[in-house]
Amino acid sequence: MTERILEVENLTIDIPVPSGILHAVQDISIHVDRGETLCIVGESGCGKSLTSLAIMDLLPKKAIRQAARLELADESIFGISERRMSDIRGNRMSMIFQEPMTSLNPAYTIGDQLTEALRRHRKVSRGEAKDRAVFLLEKVGITAAASRLGQYPHQLSGGLRQRVMIAMALMCGPDLIIADEPTTALDVTIQAQILHLLAELQREFNMGLILITHDLGVVARIADRIAVMYAGQIVETGSAAQIFTEPLHPYTRGLLDCIPIPGKTQRGAHLGAIPGIVPSLVGQMPGCHFASRCPLVDDHCLAGAVPLFDHRDTNRSIRCLRADNEDTQKISQEGVA
């Protein structure tokens, strides 16, 4: 029996903007078990970062968050006081951000910023907190860890800063880590190292991990399960194997067509691209969100909101009226290619 770390049900985020209400995230339900990696995939603006901030209750003030359930290890963390929430943040769940260059405070040393998280949540002495910081800095692959404690963020490279951010997230030994595009701002050579590190630490400390990314190459390597987001909705979820071997939603297929696969994609072949642009999320949108860019679209798709269907395969669901039909699958395979 696996232990459920995070349960999110029907999470919705609305943001009032001058032209109306931006429905940034609509009815997202996700869950993460201990030791499991959930990847949330989607292009910029699909609401994946807001989803992660909503779980941490760190959304911008004007954003309106609603949820049927938001539970951390069977305990509701929705609608609790800021004080109780701040006891949980950085303690039982922590977050790694996209921008290591600006996510550390320039005025304080690495050691100070690492230890303050632990000293906020645990009754430990300065020395014990320091020992823990050194231990974790070594864990994330930083050499001469003890001497790094006295250094300032500007003295470290982007890759090192992201390692420090990871160590910081681990200070209190959290149940869940949310990493929001942790490698986007880094050099390609370092991206792989950081991901490898995250996966390794997750296994070692047996935590739940939510990895938010737009890079499917990243997902293939470390995901257990995948949730594909498009325009504020989850359009397809399933195990990594299911999604990579048999993508059902036309959007997921389009995404997978965009990346070359060594040995499979022919040299010189054109990589796929999804035509069109992401629709505006301001105001109500009738019908399927992907309709304007979908090769399979028909009248039914535009008639009304498309729900998330359970697929006949277990633990798999999809938000499409046409994908699971053998005829359309054939059409799409010919049509999209």
Partner 1 sequence: MIHFALKRLGVAVLVALTVSILSFSMVYLSGDPALALAGEGASEQDIENVRRVYGFERPIVVQYGDWLVRALQGNLGHSNYLKADVASVVFERLPTTMLLGACALAFALILSIPLGVVAAIRPNSMIDRFALTVAMIGQAMPSFWFALTLMLWFGLNWRLLPISGTASWQHFVMPSIALGYYVTPAVMRLTRAGMLEVLSSDYIRTARAKGLRPMTVLFKHALRNAIIPVVSLSAVQFGFMLGGSIVIETIFAINGLGFLVWESILRADVPMMQAIVLVLSIIYILLTFLADLLNGFLDPRIRVS
Q: Which residues bind partner 1 (CB under 8 A)?
A: 56, 58, 82, 86-91, 94-95, 97, 99, 102-109, 116-117, 120-121, 152, 154-155, 165, 168
- CB nearer to partner 1: give 39 or 117: 117
Specify which residues 206 forms β-bridges with: none
Q: Which is nearer to partner 1, 108 or 135 (CB)?
A: 108
- Cβ proximity to partner 1: between 5 and 95 the closer is 95
Residue 5 or 320: the one with the smaller Cβ distance to partner 1 is 5
Q: How far is the CB of 38 from partner 1 (least distance, A)?
A: 19
Provide the b/e sequence for 266-296 (b: ≥16 CB within 10 Å): eeeeeebebeeebeebeeebebbbbbbbbbb
Question: Closest separation between CB of residue 277 and partner 1, Å?
Answer: 28
Q: Are strands 208-213 and 20-33 parallel, antiparallel or unpaired?
A: unpaired
CB of 73 to partner 1, least distance (A): 16
CA-CA distance, 162 to 183, in Å (whole number)?
Answer: 8
Nearer to partner 1 by Cβ, of 210 and 288: the residue is 210
For residue 173, the minimal CB distance to partner 1 (Å) is 13
CB of 8 to partner 1, least distance (A): 18
Find the shortest distance in angstroms from Cβ 119 to partner 1: 10
- By beta-carbon proximity to partner 1, the closer residue of 97 and 251 is 97
Closest among 224, 227, 243, 223 to 235, alpha carbons compared: 227
Cβ neighbour number for residue 135 with a 10 Å cutoff: 13
